[in-house]
A and B are shown apart, each in its own frame.
Chain A
Amino acid sequence: MTENTPLTQDNTEDMEIRTLELGGLAGTFGTADHKNLGRLYILFGLSGGFLSLILHLLVRLERINIGETSILDFGSSNQYFQTWSLSRTSLLFFCVVPLILGLATYLMPLQIGAPSIAFPRAAAAAFWAWLVGILIHVVTVFSDGGLGVPEPLTQFAQGMDPEATELSILSIAMVAIAVLLASITLIATVVTQRPEGMTLFELPLFSWSVLVATGVWVLAMPVWLGNLMISWVDFRGADALRYGNVANIWGQLSWLWSQPMIFAFAIPVLGIAGEIIPVAASKAQRQYTIQQIGIGALGVLSFGAFAQPFFNADVSDQAVFVGMGLLVILPVLVFLGGLADTLVKGKPKFSAHLVLALISMVALLVGTTLSAIHVSGPAIGAIREIDSDWLSGLINWLTDLQGTVIATAVMEHALISSLIASIAGLYYWSPKIFGKRMNNGIGVLAGLSLLGGLLLSAGSNLINGFLDEGDAVYLATSNSGVWNQDAVEFLNVIGFIGSILLIGGVSLVLLDLMISIFLGKGSNEDVDNPWDGHTLEWATASPPPTGNFDEPPVVNSERPLLEVGGGSE
């Protein structure tokens, strides 16, 4: 890592002299400017979102059967499993994580009044390592690699390539290391680059949420990386015993997509909504510290490195896991309550980013509610003596939900709420990021499409979970315990429509980016501070110049622009 030289009045001039502006490919590949890196993350993240939702749709198609035949036949259970697992890895690592990192890399230095991100070259290295890693991963999965196979007997029997599998493991490890490196640069930025007067309690909510989220990632993802390395070492051995046995690889890694860990990737939803809603309502957020505590509590409750069913099969019955699953709803409720108070007392102005922010909050609230339902069986069993048949039946029924597609519904809510929040952030900060506004109407339409898609997709998984459809949908046995097969088939059709709507929503955003930003049709009127924002990123030009600020600001509250009359209340 290299050191970041603080920008002071004395060296501002030097910095301008040292800066070599490069355009074109040289500028793109050689950039260490956090703004360029942020834009690159966002563009690739949206494209990755499109790919992952296409895979999501293919999996949905496979789940629809007409008679005994599936509409889409992958040819082998291996290929179905690869598509299914890639839809998850890409939704997380090729869409949600880069979108969060992109917004954070672009905005966090601006929000805290810093001239740059800490360790800009490390941040650039993290971006390129992430991009190369995720692209290699996608290519290797399509080349008969992937993170394992569904059943032991299918190992390499149906066209699975051991070398491609090895490369899949190593490439996703490279992605994890890149995400860790990017997270550390963001944490170092917010901890050490804040201006005088800005304590952690005065951090803008988005920056605070990214600090909490990346803090959880830095503590939990190395454990996941350890799982990967154990699998790889065993896989490389002459005769993979357990961890490297391809039937076991995904089982060791799946906890990253399960509760409570999956909510660590939804923490920035609170931060983005917490930035947008008070500004849209032209009202300063009250109880700011409680909002920060809410975000911190969600971080604590989403630390899931201990919840690895592969090594601890009983974890879903254990008090800590159940308690975290039940409590995770509370910080979201508290935070939403604070935002509702601001909305009610303010004068909300209708905008795409407001609609999208509200949708993302509601989606996250539903996701945490489903999490509570998911773990409630053992909880009720633990706190009440079972003295009646109906209660015993209810507990058994709720406990049985744990192996069903409700887990997928929880994951969809957590990750897609994060995707929607990132899109909300994109609409809100597009004047700052691109120097042009995105189209309000298209944004609202995209938000409604994403909401509809999530409701249908996750909703159908929820009901299918109650009907006992197994979460491992790639196994032939996933339907063996289903109560009503026709209902499951019908709901899978509904889920398929939901997948189309999700793709439609992301496509609209990409289309809007193309029209408003790249074709230059978006308005560039009043882009410096179009929404009367409260935080420091709005106190500089759009897009900001090299060094971000003419002079480092002094901050004495979490809403510095309101203090000096820059925002509106």
Chain B
Amino acid sequence: MNLRTTDLPVAPAVRGRTPLVATGFAVAAMIMYFAGVFGVYLKERAQVRSEGLPWIPNKATIELTQPGMVIWTLLISIVVMQWAVYSIKRDDRQHALLGIGTTLVMGAMVVVQTAWHLSQTNLIADEGPTTAATLIFTIVGSYLVAVIIGMIILLLTGFRTMAGQYGSKQTDGVVAASLYWYSLVFIYFIIWIAVYIAK
């Protein structure tokens, strides 16, 4: 027997929160990516140390000033991003945009500071490539890519907010962007501890 949907009762509208759910799974994927790379990093570092060798090459220097600045920048960006969420929930698009824009600038600061820091570490210049250098470049390089993706998301969210798509009745896009941003802060916190502090 053939059946058309006209035979079925009418339903209310489908559920929302699509951007938030998708971002949640994207964040899960990103966390698994870094978990895998960190797993390799920690295992290899333990192995090298167990052989009595230094993990970071002797002539390399990993200063803590820039990573310290980055972690503070990111911590402040949490507050600013949450300000954007708070504002959009109250239909205050002007302050929401200000929050998103400020977070975007902070993202650019993170990229600049991290890239400059990497260039100063001297990880490969004198002793040639090392296992540590490969893994640090992979972790930090991947993180920079993730931050740049986050900045693109913020930029799109900002444009959409400006265009009036988001407001108190539809906050999903801004909340999803904030979720992604908070996950970036969390990941940098792990990098800060495992790569820079614990070396």
Contact = CB atoms under 8 A, between A and B. Distances in A.
Interface residues of B, number: 49
A41 B2 CA distance: 28
A239 B25 CA distance: 37
B21 A191 contact: yes
A237 B91 CA distance: 50
B40 A529 contact: no
Nearest to B15: A192
A223 interface: yes
A239 B127 CA distance: 12
A151 interface: no
A336 to B, nearest CB: 30
Interface string B8-35: 1111111111110110011011101111
A229 B146 CA distance: 14
Nearest to A238: B129
A35 B11 CA distance: 23
Contact of B3 (A197, A222, A227, A538): A538
Residue with the greatest number of chain B CB neighbours at <10 A, chosen from A1, A8, A243: A1
B22 A239 contact: no
Interface string A232-246: 011001111111100
Nearest to A235: B134
B1 A532 contact: yes
A3 B18 contact: yes
Interface in A526-569: 526, 528-529, 532, 538-541, 549-554, 560-561, 564-568
A187 B40 contact: no
A529 B6 contact: no
A188 to B, nearest CB: 4
Contacts, number: 174
A6 B16 contact: yes
Contact of B21 (A192, A233, A549): A192
Interface string A331-357: 000000000000000000000000000
A218 B17 contact: no
A552 B13 contact: yes
Given A218-B29, A226-B36, A554 B8 contact: yes
A316 to B, nearest CB: 17
Given A3-B19, A238-B128, A528-B2, A197 B25 contact: no
A225 to B, nearest CB: 6
A275 B129 CA distance: 54
Contacts of B37: 226, 229-230
A422 B28 CA distance: 28
A489 to B, nearest CB: 40
Contacts of B29: 180, 184, 218-219, 221-222
B14 A195 contact: yes
Nearest to A113: B11
B138 A229 contact: yes
Given A219-B28, A230-B37, A238-B129, A192 B5 contact: no
B32 A237 contact: no
Contacts of B51: none
Contacts of A480: none
B13 A8 contact: yes
A305 B31 CA distance: 13
A237 B18 contact: no
Contacts of B13: 6, 8, 552
Contact of B18 (A183, A188, A220, A564): A188
Contact of A118 (B3, B22, B135): B22
Given A192-B14, A223-B36, A554-B11, A564 B5 contact: no
Interface in B100-137: 124, 128-131, 133-135, 137
B7 to A, nearest CB: 6
Given A226-B34, A241-B134, A551 B21 contact: no
A240 B131 CA distance: 9
Contacts of B169: none
Contacts of B49: none
A341 B34 CA distance: 45
B7 A564 contact: yes
A111 to B, nearest CB: 13
Contacts of B19: 1, 3
A16 to B, nearest CB: 16
B161 to A, nearest CB: 13
Contact of B14 (A3, A188, A529, A552): A552
A31 interface: no
A183 B131 CA distance: 33
B33 A225 contact: yes
Chain A CB count within 10 A is highest, among B1, B11, B15, B34, for B11
Nearest to B170: A3
Most buried by A among B9, B14, B30, B134: B14
B8 A184 contact: no
B59 to A, nearest CB: 16
B14 A194 contact: yes
Contact of A566 (B3, B11, B36, B124): B3
A491 B137 CA distance: 47
A190 to B, nearest CB: 10
Contacts of B30: 222
Given A192-B18, A529-B2, A565-B1, A242 B25 contact: no
A237 to B, nearest CB: 4
A539 B128 contact: no
Interface of B: 1-19, 21-22, 25-26, 28-30, 32-37, 39-40, 43, 124, 128-131, 133-135, 137-138, 141-142, 172-173
Given A118-B22, A242-B134, A541-B4, 4 more contacts: A6-B15, A230-B40, A538-B3, A566-B2
15 contacts: A188-B22, A192-B21, A193-B15, A218-B32, A223-B32, A226-B40, A230-B37, A238-B124, A238-B128, A238-B129, A241-B134, A244-B134, A529-B1, A550-B6, A553-B8
